Amino acid sequence: MALNSIISFIEENSSNIEECLLTPLSNELQVICEILSKDEIKSQISACLEELDVKANNCTLKSEAESNTYREEGNRLFRENKKANALAASRYYTNAILAAPEDSPVLALAHANRAAALVEFGYYFDAYSDCEIAKNLGYPKEKQLKIIMRQAYCAVKLKNYNHLENALEKLRDMPLNEQCLNQKEDFEEKLKILAELPGKWHQDQPRDYKVQNIRPGKRSLHDHLERL
């Protein structure tokens, strides 16, 4: 390692360095300048620093592979048992996010995978956010249908009119198979239910809502929510 090389060099050249340190100098900067004036010491330190740069670059190159390793392990756990392994899989996906380079496509994949696990765990707001991040990071357009469907599902669970409407707007412009068409129609019905609710139900942040001020002759708010 580069650090060990520096330590070994200092030990081997301790007499030269000690000579520099024994020279009457006024501050640390002068000590450093005096040490670096020795060509042999300067060249060895430069070589060690270059070695550190190479190692840092290699770490960056390996991080995408590391991210994929974490994500694949999360996928394995999630496929085995979605309910039981949702939290464990989420942790692997989080590690995949942390390991991925900022501009790498694997970062979007990790966010999308974590969203699926968070849905199973009931963290709908965080799952919706992960889907949004994945889209913003360049998640493949040919695969975006599933994360938009996931966002619509999360919006229903959050009883969030605005989020559901935004997801449906995107779904209306996408080619859908029969299963997705049926799900979309169900989401459209849920949107109509949410549209009947008071304005505060359209806020962007999830809330703990309570049934109150139900007018006679109208279906109760509780009944509306049970249908969701």
CA nearest to 134, candidates 143, 125, 122: 143
CA nearest to 181, candidates 143, 141, 152, 138: 152
Asked whether residue 217 carries a pLDDT value surpassing 60, the answer given is no
171 within 8 A of 144, measured Cβ to Cβ:
no
92 within 8 A of 70, measured Cβ to Cβ:
yes
d(CA 20, CA 17): 5
- The more confident residue out of 48 and 134 is 134
Q: By percentage, how much of the chain surpasses pLDDT 70?
A: 62
pTM of the model: 0.63
Average pLDDT value over all residues in the chain: 77
Asked whether residue 190 carries a pLDDT value surpassing 80, the answer given is yes
Work out the pLDDT band at 208, boundaries 50, 70, 90.
very low
- The more confident residue out of 219 and 130 is 130
Q: Which of 46-60, 125-139, 174-188 has the lowest mean pLDDT?
A: 46-60
The 10s digit of each residue's pLDDT in 7-26 is 565 556 556 555 555 555 55
Residue 196, pLDDT score: 87
Chain mean position to CA 131: 10
* Residue 12 burial (10 A CB sphere; 0-12, 13-18, 19+): exposed
* Domains in the chain: boundaries: 140-228
